[in-house]
Chain A
Amino acid sequence: MNEQEFARRLAGHLCAGAHEVDGAVAQRLCAARESALAAQRPRRRLARLPTRDSLRFTLSPALRSGLTMAAVLALFVVGDYWVTWSRVASQEEVDTALLSDDLPIDAYLDAEFKEWLSRES
């Protein structure tokens, strides 16, 4: 006799015996069953909530690859935007100072002027 057959036979005996119990015992059994079912309901609801593992298995590999690609793309675009913005800010500062300086632009274009200055000092 395997486990399933034993359970079926036990259930049959219990069903047959349930008709023979008196009223008070039947009421107690009914109350116990109700409380057991009530205790079981919230656990079932919790089990239906998606967990990290269940999500992992519900996302198809193609969708996961797509999300990875989108994340990498977004990272690069944001990084590039930041690099461009910092370069513009730096050039803006230097160009303002250079163009408003009392030395003309030619002084900064002449590579030999700096060397001449160092020789003179």
Chain B
Amino acid sequence: MVVARIVVLAFALVFASAAGAVTPIGAPQWRELTPAQRDVLAPLAREWGAMSETQRQKWVGIANRYPRLTPEEQARIRARMKSWVGLTPEERQRARDQYRALRNAPPEKREAMREQWLRYRSLSPEERQSKPDARAPRRSQRPPARGTPE
């Protein structure tokens, strides 16, 4: 009796995992989107059919949040959508992890990050690896020259 129960439970678990792998969460087709959602997600129209249900559901959520963003943020999202979808899942996850790590920085550091990113981009790979002290202008070993007595 106990063995039969274990067998039944094992079958249930196997079927449940199979069912869980295909659990639909109600992701809509492109034609089922509202005109406003289609307008926001227009850069992804071609890729929409090839996306997984979870990806589509996520983009629908982003489209619903879109009206609450500032015009600058809206422009950034629309400009970056296509390249974001073109990344591999591993790259997207790495970017999310890095974003979570940098998001916790103090506000004053967050504001300076844009300039720091531009500065970082302008450096060569060797300069990026070197320590800040090594890049600092060399101080003269000798004391500053004083005016010579007349």
Contacts and interface: CB of A to CB of B under 8 A. Distances in A.
A72 to B, nearest CB: 4
A102 B95 contact: no
Contact of B77 (A99, A104, A121): A99
B149 interface: no
B132 A111 contact: no
Interface in A4-24: none
Interface string B85-117: 001000100111011111100000100011011
A119 B131 CA distance: 7
Given A68-B9, A76-B16, A108-B99, A113 B117 contact: yes
Interface residues on A, range: 35 or more
Interface residues of B, number: 51
Interface in B96-146: 96, 98-103, 109, 113-114, 116-117, 120, 128, 131-132
Contacts, number: 136
Contacts of B131: 119
Interface in B1-53: 1, 4-5, 8-9, 11-13, 15-17, 19-21, 23, 25
Interface in A100-119: 100-105, 107-109, 111-114, 116-117, 119
Contacts of A94: 96, 99-100
Nearest to A121: B109
Nearest to A75: B16
A116 B131 CA distance: 9
Interface stretch (A32-40, A52-60, A83-91): A83-91
A26 interface: no
Contacts of A76: 12-13, 16-17, 19-20
Contacts of B69: 96, 100
* Interface-central residue, A75, A81, A99, by most chain B CB under 10 Å: A99
Contacts of A97: 99, 103
Interface of B: 1, 4-5, 8-9, 11-13, 15-17, 19-21, 23, 25, 54, 57-58, 61-62, 65, 69, 73-74, 76-77, 80-81, 83-84, 87, 91, 94-96, 98-103, 109, 113-114, 116-117, 120, 128, 131-132
